[in-house]
Amino acid sequence: MQEVKHADELFKDFKAQSISEFFKKNAAMLGYTGKIRSLTTIVHEGVTNALDACEEAGILPDIHVRIEEQGNEHYRVSMEDNASGIPLRFIPQVFGRMLAGSKAHRNIQSRGQQGIGVSGAVMFSQVTTGKPTTIYTSTGKGPIIKALVQLDVKKNLGEILEKEKIANKWDWRGTIISLECKNVIYNKSRYSPYNYLRMTSISNPHSRITFIEPDGTRILYERSTNLVPEPPKPIKPHPHGATPDDLITMASNTAKKNLSQFLSHEFVRVSSPKALEVCKSAGLSDKMNPKRMTWEDAESIVKALSSIKFFAPPTEGLRPIGDEEIRKGLESTLSPEFTYTITRAPQTYRGGILFVIEIGLAFGGKAGRGGVELIRYANRAPLIFDQGGCAMTDAVKSIDWKRYGIRDIEKAPLTVFINLVSTHVPYTSAGKQAVAYEEEIFNEIRNAIMDAGRALSKFLSGKRRLYEKKSKMNTLLRYVPETAQSISLLTTAEKDGISEALERIINEKYNMIVEDEEEEPEPQESEETEGEEY
Amino acid sequence: MQEVKHADELFKDFKAQSISEFFKKNAAMLGYTGKIRSLTTIVHEGVTNALDACEEAGILPDIHVRIEEQGNEHYRVSMEDNASGIPLRFIPQVFGRMLAGSKAHRNIQSRGQQGIGVSGAVMFSQVTTGKPTTIYTSTGKGPIIKALVQLDVKKNLGEILEKEKIANKWDWRGTIISLECKNVIYNKSRYSPYNYLRMTSISNPHSRITFIEPDGTRILYERSTNLVPEPPKPIKPHPHGATPDDLITMASNTAKKNLSQFLSHEFVRVSSPKALEVCKSAGLSDKMNPKRMTWEDAESIVKALSSIKFFAPPTEGLRPIGDEEIRKGLESTLSPEFTYTITRAPQTYRGGILFVIEIGLAFGGKAGRGGVELIRYANRAPLIFDQGGCAMTDAVKSIDWKRYGIRDIEKAPLTVFINLVSTHVPYTSAGKQAVAYEEEIFNEIRNAIMDAGRALSKFLSGKRRLYEKKSKMNTLLRYVPETAQSISLLTTAEKDGISEALERIINEKYNMIVEDEEEEPEPQESEETEGEEY
């Protein structure tokens, strides 16, 4: 029998590691896996940051992305935005420290949400090339700051290696991040920066994106609207979503001195009378100092909150794409025969986290990808990886498409577009490419698709009737020569004249029916219909 | 036009958060999503830690898991192991600090690997119940320590709220973790702790697991071998896997004073003469202090390393399950008609990270789950969630099963068992339920399945021939009464006697053929065969 080792020996190697060390070792969790995906991840992190920054500052985004080849599997990626710029003292934190940022602790819709992404890009660059990342930034007045930033992985801290002030003759405002990376490949596949930017442009019609490919090709995604979206607003939590742990955390941070004020101030939709009602129902004094709240008190408050009705959370803080914009995007890229889009009413998950589902369905034309194509977005950022592990995919798979006239889903020219908008997207991983299962989100996606499916079904059954009529017409037309011949023999009239007359009659009759139908479609319960096989 | 906000205003909310805050907000990334999965995740974290601890200490695992119902969706989970125990001063770090542990920085096969899991369980308990976790532990001599541990989420630090020393009259050695959790559900589904433990027992035949369900049912998974697996050994990195960044990191930690000693000491398979060869090929002095290595030096060394041949990495540090044990597991749980198992030769990915693929294929009996069932393990720990996002699933899906005689994969009674063993499993998420795509791993899984598929194909084509012969035999037997009647009329012999004789001849002929076949199967290139539809 082998020797049993004592704990003291086993624990001598015990150590803590920093979050940066963790993600360096597990770079796949940030999306750095595969040569194509790694490059796209860098672009994704830069562009989502740029769009978030413009939106928060109330600026129409004008974004430039340039990828230059520097050698074999070796590129430089530069990304420029025209947002607010970054004050010098925040540069090391923004680009060199993971889990630092202004978004994670606010209840606000954003693409970034975590404060990991762009530091991850800086780290990937550093680990593959040994070089720091170059930042140019200006807040509009004063000089442009140029800084070389790197990440102290062990300490998870950003370091500025060199900095320089450049006279800002142009009153330029914005940020440029420029970094090199190795072991990556550029191409134009669906997983490439090329497609990523195309998809970003569809979901951000207010943005102008200029992309310069390694071969010098310049691609411009022009904005289709000049309307600056209003900056997303922080939304206070809704009382129905609160857990005891939330209450205690909020109480430890509040400036309010008594329970009822605490409740009406920290939550949305809790008026002063409602707050008093909650205190009473929880059996607690409304004068109680919230900092003295015990776990049992918090549980009583949660119980009281859940038994009282409040208005639904306000939604003006959310920024969906809008069904019109989704329709435009699908029609311009897919030229489908049929399009249906909807921005649904806001819902909440886990009791209180606000979200909106937007759906687009496109059929025919260039829709589909040898079967259903799924286009996923979260807070307007394209999700192009990890489709198999995403709750959106599961929702689409759970649909019984036969009910909507699609008999062979493996061959249908069908594209399903989904955008999930929320103050907190429940990603499965720090790489932010797949949404975790939350029952309410899953159901809402299903319901939205089923709505769209009913419209599709109507379209398809109309299309089928049209097809059947055309078949009948063609059959009749095939008999025209024979019939004309017979009539000619019986009546001694000219055969060609009879043929022409018959053809005219048939054409008129069937064209008329088709037009009739378009004006007044036959009412039918499409839910029960099995349509044509496509 | 709305007002453009200045950077100073936008950055006033900039804050850093701790890794614990991050995972509290994104608990789905740790597997805390859904009421059933959350409970299973807790059991998973406790049991993988227990098995790792036993293995490292060289102890046959004897693990007790008890789940008690405490109220509606409210349970207590207690897990006991007989491993080395935990010295008092490490308790706060083991249970209350994320990214602390003895595994992450060593190149060693383990289930845990990250140093996040069990602190995540403590946090989930705390967040849903407001209560600390109770730990009992003893290193064998001296008292049993009882400690109440909680996590300071903001600081990512463990705190001991209370501690007590209990006389250890029984010389008990091991650790008990006992915690409460709310918003969870216990059942016996495939996603439950019940199935998780059943699957763990299959892949860890040296472990005894006692499980007490909430209704008091006691389930014993007895060990099927008394052989203690040798503790996995740290494996030094292989020179072919090194990146320039690895070299610089290793150089900053080494005690060696010159480059050639550094290389031969820090890498496996690099002898002193090989190290000199590397230095020469890299154009660097072998006397150079490794701490002075520049990025360019490191790149030269990587280039030199990749141009020189080294022995494959040693594999004695890896602990696969073994094909015999996999066969036993599949046969005892599925009673299949056909089983094929193989533990493949070790491979490396990313140039140098060692891994082994084990495959089991079971056909017929209880195999399959209305189509192919996939059973995934990584380092012997069952992966029961996130199947859709796992490279193992993609590898299985990429197989053209028709080539192996499976015509309708949606209905085939087929189970595919995969275990990936490695010093570093490339998980897609901190929840450790899906493996990221790495080309070498993907290909190796495919090759292993194709090997197994060829064996399956042979089995199925034999089965098909058997079926065809039986059909022919039955057809002939059907004509016996008529033929006997005719012969009887022609020969005036007794009809019944003729029937019997004919039946005997037919039976003998076909049984003989079948036996023949079993002894000497017809050689055939099964890769090209399309077998029977199953």
* B285, part of any domain: yes
Give B144's strand partners: B166
Residue A104 has what pLDDT? 64
**Testing the interface with A: which of B8, B17, B70, B175 to mutate, by most A Cβ within 10 A?**
B17
Number of domains in chain B: 3
Give the tens place of pLDDT for each residue, A432-471: 999 999 999 999 999 999 999 999 999 998 877 777 777 7
- Tell me: do B520 and B379 sit in the same domain: yes
- Tell me: do B321 and B459 sit in the same domain: yes
Q: Does B11 touch chain A (CB under 8 A)?
A: yes
CATH number of the domain that residue A296 is part of: 1.10.8.50
Residue A235 has what pLDDT? 84
* A167, part of any domain: yes
Confidence of residue B369 (pLDDT cuts 50, 70, 90): confident
Confidence of residue B49 (pLDDT cuts 50, 70, 90): very high
How far lies A238's CA from each of A287, A317, A319, A481, B21, in Å? 22, 13, 18, 75, 20
pLDDT, averaged across chain B? 89
- Tell me: do B475 and B357 sit in the same domain: yes
- Tell me: do A94 and A162 sit in the same domain: yes
Contacts of A199 (CB under 8 A, 6+ apart): A375, A377, A382, A384
Whether B52 and B110 have beta carbons less than 8 Å apart is answered as yes
List the single residue in B with minimal CA-CA distance to A57: B5
- The mean per-residue pLDDT over the stretch A265-282 comes to 95
Confidence of residue B104 (pLDDT cuts 50, 70, 90): low
Confidence of residue B513 (pLDDT cuts 50, 70, 90): low
Q: Which of B221, B247, B273 is the last residue of a domain?
A: B221
* pLDDT exceeds cutoff 50 at B78: yes
DSSP string, B215-243: T--EEEE--S--PPPPPPPP-PPPGGG--
How far apart CA A343 and CA A28 sit, in angstroms, is 33
Residue A208 has what pLDDT? 97
- Tell me: do A217 and A68 sit in the same domain: yes
* A465, part of any domain: yes
- Tell me: do A290 and A167 sit in the same domain: no
- Tell me: do A289 and A344 sit in the same domain: no
Q: Does A71 touch chain B (CB under 8 A)?
A: no
CATH number of the domain that residue B532 is part of: 3.30.230.10
* B2, part of any domain: no
How far apart CA B417 and CA B341 sit, in angstroms, is 9
- Tell me: do B130 and B191 sit in the same domain: yes
Residue A529 has what pLDDT? 33
- Tell me: do B342 and B447 sit in the same domain: yes
Strands B208-212 and B62-71: parallel
> With left for phi above 0 and alpha for psi between -120 and 50, is residue B397 left, alpha or beta?
alpha
Q: Which domain holds residue B426?
A: 316-534
List the single residue in A with minimal CA-CA distance to B234: A13
Contacts of B243 in chain A (CB under 8 A): 127-128
Measure CA B129 to chain center. Answer: 31
CB contact under 8 A, A85 and B34: no
CB contact under 8 A, A15 and B100: yes
- Using CB atoms and an 8 Å cut-off, which of residues 295-354 of chain A contact chain B? 295, 298-299
Residue A7 has what pLDDT? 83
Confidence of residue A527 (pLDDT cuts 50, 70, 90): very low
- Using CB atoms and an 8 Å cut-off, which of residues 481-500 of chain B contact chain A? none
- Tell me: do A481 and A389 sit in the same domain: no
Q: Does A22 touch chain B (CB under 8 A)?
A: yes
CB contact under 8 A, B86 and A386: no
Confidence of residue B6 (pLDDT cuts 50, 70, 90): confident
The number of beta carbons lying within 10 Å of the beta carbon of residue B494 is 11
How far apart CA B133 and CA A403 sit, in angstroms, is 51
* pLDDT exceeds cutoff 70 at B343: yes
- Tell me: do A294 and A147 sit in the same domain: no
pLDDT, averaged across chain A? 89
Give the tens place of pLDDT for each residue, A404-432: 999 888 889 999 999 999 999 999 999 99
* B3, part of any domain: no
Q: Does B422 touch chain A (CB under 8 A)?
A: no
Q: Does A408 touch chain B (CB under 8 A)?
A: no
How far apart CA B117 and CA B113 sit, in angstroms, is 9
* B226, part of any domain: no
What ipTM, to 2 d.p.? Answer: 0.84
Q: Apex CA A245: angle with CA A241 and CA A248, to 5°?
A: 110
CB contact under 8 A, B99 and A18: yes
Q: Which of A397, A420, A449 is the last residue of a domain?
A: A449
Of A502-506, A522-526, B4-8, B279-283, give the lowest mean pLDDT range. Answer: A522-526
- The mean per-residue pLDDT over the stretch A88-102 comes to 90
- Nearest of A335, A430, A383 to residue A120 by alpha carbon: A430
Of A128-132, A211-215, A388-392, A465-469, give the lowest mean pLDDT range. Answer: A465-469
Residue B4 has what pLDDT? 82
List the single residue in B with minimal CA-CA distance to A434: B389
- The mean per-residue pLDDT over the stretch B412-440 comes to 94
Residue B495 has what pLDDT? 82
- The mean per-residue pLDDT over the stretch B230-243 comes to 85
First vs last C-alpha separation in chain A: 67
CB contact under 8 A, B428 and A389: yes
- The mean per-residue pLDDT over the stretch B368-389 comes to 92
* pLDDT exceeds cutoff 80 at A523: no
Contacts of B384 (CB under 8 A, 6+ apart): B40, B190, B191, B195, B196, B199, B376, B433
How far apart CA A415 and CA A332 sit, in angstroms, is 13
- The SS3 of residue B61 is coil
* B326, part of any domain: yes
* B414, part of any domain: yes
Q: Which of B176, B191, B221 is the last residue of a domain?
A: B221
Contacts of A284 (CB under 8 A, 6+ apart): A259, A297, A300, A301
- The SS3 of residue A28 is helix
* pLDDT exceeds cutoff 70 at A218: yes
Residue A513 has what pLDDT? 53
- The SS3 of residue B321 is coil
CATH number of the domain that residue B157 is part of: 3.30.565.10
CB contact under 8 A, B428 and A386: yes
- Tell me: do A81 and A161 sit in the same domain: yes
- The mean per-residue pLDDT over the stretch B369-373 comes to 86
How far apart CA B351 and CA B310 sit, in angstroms, is 12
Q: Who wins on pLDDT, B295 or B4?
A: B295
